[in-house]
A and B are shown apart, each in its own frame.
Chain A
Amino acid sequence: MDNKKSQQDIDMSTRRDFFRRTAALGITALGTTSIMASEDGHDSILKPTKWGTTWGDPVTKNLYGVPSKYEHNVTRRYTKLLASGNFRASIAVTPIQESKGIITPNGLFFSRSHGGVAHIDPNEHMLMISGLVKKPLVLTMKELMRYPSVTRTHFIECPANGGQEWRGPQYNSLQFAKGFMSCAEWTGVYIKDIIKDLGVDPKAIWMLAEGGDSSKMGRSIPMEKVLDDAMIVWGQNGENLRPEQGYPIRLLVPGWEGNLCVKWLRRLDFATDPWYCKEETSKYTVLKPTGKAIQHFYANEVNSTVVSPSPEIDWSDLKDGDTVEIEGLAWSGMGTITGVDLSFDGGKNYVEAKLKGLVLPKCWTRWSYVHTYKKGEELLLTSRAMDDAGYIQPTIDQETLVVGVEAVYHRNAVETWKVEKDGKITHVEVRSQLEQKPNGELVIEGKA
């Protein structure tokens, strides 16, 4: 509803601008730019601008701010191929190509739901803690938010990020190839701080987290993670959660599958056995060539991508000899990023890139490399990250030989952008052709 309102505001101000310009400047056609360059210089500098000579909006307008109307293309996007026909069990993905720093704005944070985005009245919503505890508990939202708060910056990644590209590249787009993730500063409470005094039975080695939306999405989480860093969060980037992120509360399981971060959370239950929820059996399991599937595959493994350039924002406007920054993101759900390497030949040879800004556990980390561009050069840009748990991103061959091409989830092999002669960027993969032995095992075809 708020979005609709702000869209109307944009529409109205666009219309007003149109009338103002056509009336005052007598421009005949929209779309022809009024800004001209001449020998004297550029009109943007030589001529007064509309915004430099007339009133802006009063502060009473947009009391909750909205982005500049010129930013309307910076938006989440969806594809029908990743949706139920009614777009309620679907995903809208983050424009990583436009990301700044390590924080995703709340309006751009990727949105995934299983029964649509619920709109919960926080005055009515309750959290129940039950099962193998001596003192089961019901908390109102007001009571929950009185617990001592913790603020941490973590990414959340859908483990199907890149999951359409196991058999080859599909998307010529960073937004769709890697946008099933976002990163935010979260505020909430450690679950361990709430349950310390509840008398949890030592036999309770599992916790169920269940949502209160129409899908009742649930997941089983081992107690060890619950007692480590699992949180119930209500704050995101300095404000309360958006409905798309589970308002008023969601679970945050740092570094682990986004699906475990149950939105619209209403119940935590403790038991001796896992629940075999639908989203930890039929889905979010990784089928290997052996015919066996990995279940309870928790952590999003070490990963990285080149963000600039991208297929969306390429180098076609660069001149020969321009020095540019190649920039990217690295992240690991298993620890903290320790380094990133960059390859210009698709992963054959690497050089070390530099990390920039804050380097935090289970958090997006920015990296950078300065390159002098030769007009007409063809490059294969591949980044490769490492974390303090000792992992390094695998090649596509290394990963697929073990988990095959039917895994859907947890694809973290290196990614490659090809810089074409004209500076445009094409998404490619550098990999070998595989063949399957009768026992299911995969081997590289033609390897002596």
Chain B
Amino acid sequence: MKKSNKNLLISISVAAAISLGLSACMGESPKSAEKTSNETKKSELKKAIDGGVTYSVSNGKFGTYYVNEDAHSGKINFGRKPTKAEYKEWNSDVMANGEGLPEGEGSVEDGEEVYEAKCVMCHGDFGSGGGGYPSLAKGNAYELQKTLKNQRIKPDTDGPVRVFGTYWPMASTLWWYIKDAMPHPQTGSLSDDEVYALVAYILNINEFEIDGEEVDDEYVLNREKFLKIKMPNANGFEPNITGPDAPKNIRAYYSNPANFGAQKVKPAERCMHDCQEKTVKVVYIKNGGISDFHPPLSDKRDLPKEKKDNANFDAAKAYADNCAMCHESGAAPARGDKDGWSGILEKGLDNVYAAAIKGTQAGMPAKGGSSLSDNEFKTVVNYLVGKK
């Protein structure tokens, strides 16, 4: 099982020499060779798949760490075999070739219905995103895939569009991710058919075609059609990670610093004087930058402020921060929606409090996903249902 890396035992000094040409030094270099503080001898360093080096245990030591080599013989074993049912339950991954993808079907129309009920509150109308939640579509994926070369190097330029249709290499990712990790407050709650329907809807808003057929409003997706999806940006990634040569390809890619913006240099030959491009300028933070820090930055050693008591609690702000996302988007009754609330309040306010604090099957997360206290949250419920 241990991989043979003999052909990779290239000493690091050789590697550094090969890459000399990449040094961008424009001036003089230090006179003496850099002393290395690393205890590992250079000849012991092996080149790793990631472009770096790895270390091995020798004479009971791993660098500065001591090792009891007897403990790592592989003779120590615990545990048991999983049952078939256990394996099946957890083996939920869907691979790019369709392995793990169950049979099922769902229409764009059904998908839109599930989307409006369970997804729109975060992902927005037609997958527009917002509020820190990802966009699912921005329009025609085939056209927008061409934006991936866009670089915002000047003000007021458009950036690349990186959504499912324009960017992702594989469709399997979407199916698997929705099934296992969505909807975010209640993951694993969608049936296979609901997932097919949602995927159909997301393909629809990305204006996809499958096998020459437009994924229009009438489209019904199933396993067979799913496996024919061709992602517009399937060839947009490097290095090549498919097939048995993947490790070799990855290693080759990261052995060339020019591929990923890295610089190699012999320590003694690194630039010490006049090392910048002549064109550089000092660039300052523009428009105040980002300073929305919580809690605000401070290095003071003082006593913490007393916590606000309940009387000062701002229910309106807590509502806006934690609840409005669903309650003002149509996914749940809004503030002031008397008809919407009258039926619910018939169950008694205490039951409404309890449901709000614990969460509900209908999708309301416990305390709306906030970290408010029970009493604070009751104040928010009062604010929402219109009770003084």
Determine if A255 is an interface residue (Cβ-Cβ < 8 Å). yes
Quick one: closest B residue to A10, CB to CB?
A: B304
Dominant secondary structure of chain B at its interface with chain A: loop
Contact B82 A17 (CB under 8 A): no
- Complex CA gap A69/B131 in Å reads 35
Q: How many residues of B contact A (CB 8 A)?
A: 140
Flag whether B114 is at the interface (Cβ < 8 A). Answer: no
* Minimal beta-carbon separation of B23 from chain A (angstroms): 8
A228 to B48, Cβ gap below 8 A? yes
Among A15, A79, A446, the one with the most B-chain Cβ atoms within 10 Å of its Cβ is: A79
Give the contact-size bracket for chain A. 35 or more
User: In whole Å, how far is B307's beta carbon from the nearest beta carbon of chain A?
Assistant: 6
Contacting residues, chain B, for A273 (C-beta < 8 A): 95-97, 242-243, 246
Task: Kindly list chain A residues whose C-beta atoms are within 8 Å of the C-beta of B243.
Answer: 273
Which of A51-59, A101-109, A168-176 makes up part of the contact surface? A168-176
- Please name all residues of chain B whose beta carbon is closer than 8 Å to the beta carbon of A434 when the two chains form the complex: 151, 153
B282 touches A389 (CB 8 A): no
| Also in contact, A410 and B265, with CB within 8 A (given A380-B282, A430-B282) | no
User: In this assembly, does A329 line the interface, its C-beta being within 8 Å of a C-beta of chain B?
Assistant: no
Asked if B150 and A406 make an inter-chain contact with CB atoms under 8 angstroms apart, the answer reads yes
Q: How far is the CA of A442 from the CA of B150 in the complex (A)?
A: 11
Q: Which residues from A are CB-within-8-Å of B86?
A: 128, 138
Residue B222, interface by CB 8 Å: no
Set B19, B24, B50: member contacting A398, Cβ < 8 A: B24
Q: Are B78 and A388 in contact (CB under 8 A)?
A: no
A97 shortest CB reach to chain B, Å: 7
Q: Which of B228-273 contact A (CB under 8 A)?
A: 236-239, 241-244, 246-247, 250, 254, 257-267, 270-273
CB distance from A371 to the nearest CB of B (A): 17
* CB-CB contacts below 8 Å: B158-176 with A: 159-160, 162, 164, 167-170, 172-173, 176
A residues within 8 A CB of B362? none
The yes or no answer to A144 lying at the interface (CB within 8 A) is: yes
Known A193-B76, A361-B63; contact A282-B290, beta-carbon cutoff 8 A: no
Interface string of A251-295 (1 = CB under 8 A from B): 000011000000000110101111111100110011101111111
**Do B283 and A430 touch (CB < 8 A)?**
yes
A115 at the interface (CB under 8 A from B): yes
Is residue A164 contacting chain B, with contact meaning CB distance below 8 A? Answer: yes
| In the assembled complex, B184 has its CB within 8 A of some CB on chain A | yes
Given the contacts A80-B292, A334-B51, A168 and B297 also touching, CB distance less than 8 Å: no
Stretch at the interface among A38-46, A211-219, A237-245, A319-327: A211-219
Complex Cα gap A332–B38 (Å)? 13
Bound: A407/B169 CA distance, A: 17
Q: Give 15 A-B pairs besides A79-B293, A391-B52, A428-B283 with Cβ atoms closer than 8 angstroms.
A: A14-B306, A73-B302, A90-B132, A214-B188, A216-B181, A223-B247, A278-B173, A298-B254, A338-B37, A347-B275, A348-B274, A395-B275, A402-B261, A404-B151, A432-B279
9 contacts between A and B (CB under 8 A): A14-B303, A146-B78, A222-B49, A267-B90, A273-B97, A276-B169, A289-B149, A293-B236, A349-B273
Closest 3 A/B residue pairs (Cβ): A334-B52, A196-B74, A148-B71
